[in-house]
Chain A
């Protein structure tokens, strides 16, 4: 599979570009080493296409009823705009040497922290501090924070991989992770907090933390899980700690309670998934999107996917995510630089965790945290950031020795 694309011209180039001579491509003073990884690119485009179609299918009813002008195209129009821009940036970034990012690690870190502080200082929207208004659109700093955390950790780990057993160094890394986690907690961004924690721990683990100890793996994973479990238990027993989180845990455990209120979204998500059966009701045929599944364009888009495409469709999409992650890991493993590996792995891991958490929430396998599904859920900043991250992975893939 990897060999098939080799003799072909670089299809990521616009036709105009294809006619030009290769040297002209070093537009950013970066001398080209190799071509981007086509399978990864194809998988990204495939997921993006299916994601856009399904987001549109899931959202048009809700858009019709709930948007100011009763415009059923409201969400898809915006999402398409971001998708086009995102793909554009992805291609640009794929052509830049990713190592440039490393040079700007500190400004990126400071800028992100500053944005996270600013968003906390702005008046809350719907009780949470998440968005910075920018004209017609809004910026969600937490989306940027995910990448920043990956970039900072990748940089520091690659800088001193030998110090990954050094307690002080680990403490520094842990402190950075803790800062992000704390800022997102202040934002009242539950899913963001969880995600930061997961990314942080994942990066430490992959960075080779405690690599001289055999029990490093069980300690980190088991410890993380145990901390999470204890945290859930403590919150469940002491609602005053975090009322918001308590509520979500409570209604996850008490699945029969308040079917018209707190359990409405989850119950209807289950009805939608269950209605899908093996083959689904067909594209566009969901009944549950008729205001039953609230905000089906966002976190619960996968419920509508399951209803319309059935188990077969849902499984195929999960499989595509597997392929994407698998390909990403391959890129990471064959990258020439350790930094590139860690960056790629961090991004791929982030996507994997988000998919896992989203599907787990939609299927009522864990409390409702409100996490988006990559490529599918509505959200401009999120999609842009995701595609740009994909651009970074593609950039790394240029330097990777994929062909053995």
Chain B
């Protein structure tokens, strides 16, 4: 019995062993599943735990103006965060102590900070953004002194700094809190500016501590590229100043303008008023409007009004808005007529004050009619019947051909976001739906809409000899080291009209400024060509406030060799004498003058102007230096003071001598002075402007002699004092000019 029991028992031992082996087998299979089948899944999970992956932010690129002044740049700032769990481990009063001291350094509300410090469910509570270096260092110093380094941490981030808060805001745009471009160039060139973020991968233990063995892998960040703009700070400043003025003078809703290099299509300045601060885009800049919105009681309505106001202030109206160009468009009609040869500048037409096309009668703004006028005079007077007549002679097909050619049916392709898209049948009539009546309206710039950027690009084509350019704002892209990566080459879209037609039209437009509706844009010494425009805003006829207008003026200079075009539009001006000539032209003149001076275009006075400008030198001998200076400068002359004395003892040229306006008078203040001398340079073969420049450098006064001085095809032939002769500064040298058969003659095909 006992033996049998023992035998059975031994059998059972074996069974039990086999069961254990079987379970071992199952566990082996389980291991196989975890390690071999699901291994990668778990490995990835483990790595997610073990590696701390920090993003190294790339520095966003800088934006420079055309003179390499910094407009926008990014700088490193710091985020400061607290670790409430560590704080609670660091002693009873740690939270109070830390929040009080850190809040003091960072100028924060200590209560808010304390609240975050006590949120012990979290390990990461940001208490301050955009902290600058000095403050960050102070915080770190405080932490290490008090052994709280594990409680508070810092993280780098970047902040965008704008050289001046609203300067060129419409062009530059702004970035969101995550550093991403939202408007303007910041948005359009976001990828270029952004760069590539890098990564720092380090091993960490489960308590986020560093590891005894340093595993570290760095993928470097690549900083963003920088942009060099075509924007010229001098002109941008001038444009903005004058837009503000024009807007204020006319109590207008908006004013906006563009300055373009006519030969390349480069945008030299661009602005909207009112606009916004690039560093505070979410603040409504128009204080009156902000107050008005704040007073709205209904929360929903207030929020809506606020967002509408923000969108409105961000809107770059020069490219996103469309308007009826009005009479400014007569430039295009004239260009088409001249190019097609249907009208010549001297052709005449009798304006009776109205013209009938089919069943519609169009009245001239000058009700009595201008009578018989040449085409040039028609342009000067902005005579609608003349242009309706010209348009009818041109015909729908030809008109539409030029409408298209001048780029009004396509986007200009400027490198800024939000350009208005021309829409056939909506913003303009296609050829098929244009009858004689539509043609009549369109001939003087009504019944279709264009954007300001389209208009100035088209007029620039007239100014530059017929080439339609693609406007652009970014001249160069630089890599982070400052090397040029790419340069924007001016892009000619097409030759729209011939050079000779263009030149002819330039002269006609110059005469608009000299004699016609554009008089207010006249700048003495500079040959300005331009055209006014006034158009009713559509859909406002029924408004109780009466008709609303967009008035504009477009001009370019110098008329014989155009360099710069300026368009200024004033939206909804108020007052009795509303019109482009009143509201926009004076501002355009000021911008043009600034541009001419900035680009060192020497004033070219006509003979009439020069005669009028010859100034008799005042007698300042015996006067105090200050007095002498003001007397001379009041006479539109320049004054150079030599010596330290208080009284003027001598002058050159002597009193009552006629010298050209803008000339120089040298005054001497020390007794027994030795007159400053200068060697007369060689003026031969130089142009009027070059002579002027050289003379200004030497301190000599020049009297010009010759015909047709305003033409670029004249050069100096003789001079009254031989080159190399030593003369006193301020001496008047007469330079004789003759016409030369220069290159420009053949080019213009005269």
**Which chain A residues have a beta carbon within 8 Å of chain B's beta carbons?**
61, 64-65, 161-162, 164, 202, 205-208, 211, 217, 221, 267-268, 270-278, 287-288, 290-292, 306, 310-311, 314-315, 318, 321-322, 325-326, 329, 332-333, 338, 341-342, 345, 348-349, 352-353, 355-356, 359-360, 363, 365
Contacts and interface: CB of A to CB of B under 8 A. Distances in A.
Interface in B516-545: none
Given A206-B12, A314-B31, A341-B10, A275 B24 contact: no
B49 A268 contact: yes
A292 B50 contact: yes
B17 A325 contact: yes
A67 B15 CA distance: 45
A145 B311 CA distance: 80
B27 A333 contact: no
B9 A276 contact: no
A356 B43 contact: no
A321 to B, nearest CB: 7
B329 to A, nearest CB: 70
Label chain B's interface by main secondary structure: helix
Contact of A338 (B9, B17, B46): B9
Contact of A311 (B35, B41, B203, B212): B35
B215 to A, nearest CB: 9
A287 B16 contact: no
A365 B41 CA distance: 18
A290 B34 contact: no
A292 B46 CA distance: 9
A162 B5 contact: yes
A311 B31 contact: yes
B5 A164 contact: yes
A363 B27 contact: yes
Nearest to A289: B205
Nearest to A267: B45
Interface string B306-324: 0000000000000000000
B206 interface: yes
Given A211-B5, A274-B35, 17 more contacts: A64-B212, A65-B205, A202-B16, A274-B42, A277-B36, A277-B39, A290-B204, A290-B205, A291-B206, A292-B50, A310-B35, A315-B28, A333-B13, A338-B6, A352-B17, A356-B20, A356-B27
Contact of B1 (A162, A205, A329): A162
Nearest to A351: B20
Contacts of B205: 61, 65, 290-292
A341 B24 contact: no
A333 B14 CA distance: 9
Contacts, number: 151
7 smallest A-B Cβ distances: which pairs?
Answer: A274-B42, A291-B206, A271-B46, A290-B205, A352-B20, A311-B35, A208-B9
A61 B203 CA distance: 14
A306 B31 CA distance: 9
Contacts of A273: 31, 34-35, 42
Given A208-B12, A333-B10, A365-B30, A274 B39 contact: yes
B43 A322 contact: no
Nearest to B211: A290
Contact of B13 (A277, A306, A341): A341
B261 to A, nearest CB: 62
Given A273-B35, A274-B41, A345 B27 contact: no
Interface string B197-217: 000000111110101100000
Contacts of A287: 46, 50, 203
A318 B211 CA distance: 32
Query: Which range holds the interface residue count of chain B?
Result: 35 or more
8 contacts: A162-B1, A274-B39, A274-B40, A322-B24, A325-B21, A326-B17, A329-B13, A365-B27
Contacts of A61: 205, 212
Given A292-B46, A318-B24, A311 B36 contact: yes
Contacts of A202: 16
Contacts of A277: 35-36, 39, 43
Given A274-B35, A274-B41, A275-B39, A292 B206 contact: yes
A270 B43 CA distance: 9
Contacts of A291: 205-207
A159 to B, nearest CB: 11
Given A276-B39, A318-B24, A208 B13 contact: no
Interface of B: 1-2, 5-6, 8-10, 12-17, 19-21, 23-24, 27-28, 30-32, 34-36, 38-43, 45-46, 49-50, 203-207, 209, 211-212
B308 to A, nearest CB: 46
A80 B406 CA distance: 93
A318 B578 CA distance: 98
Given A211-B5, A217-B15, A321 B35 contact: no
Contacts of B13: 206, 329, 332-333, 341, 345
A342 B8 CA distance: 13
A274 B9 contact: no
B624 to A, nearest CB: 86
B16 A161 contact: no
B9 A161 contact: yes
A74 B28 CA distance: 32
A355 B28 CA distance: 12
B49 A292 contact: yes
B16 A205 contact: yes
Contacts of A268: 46, 49, 206
B30 A341 contact: no
A202 B206 CA distance: 41
A306 B39 CA distance: 11
Nearest to B2: A161
Contacts of A211: 5, 8-9
B32 A311 contact: yes
Nearest to B17: A329
Nearest to A217: B15
A216 to B, nearest CB: 9
A110 B135 CA distance: 72
A206 B203 CA distance: 52
B35 A270 contact: no
Given A270-B34, A292-B206, A326-B17, A275 B9 contact: no
A173 to B, nearest CB: 14
A318 B19 CA distance: 14
A329 B14 contact: yes
A278 B36 contact: yes
A269 to B, nearest CB: 10
A281 to B, nearest CB: 10
Most chain B CB atoms below 10 A, which of A164, A271, A315, A329: A271
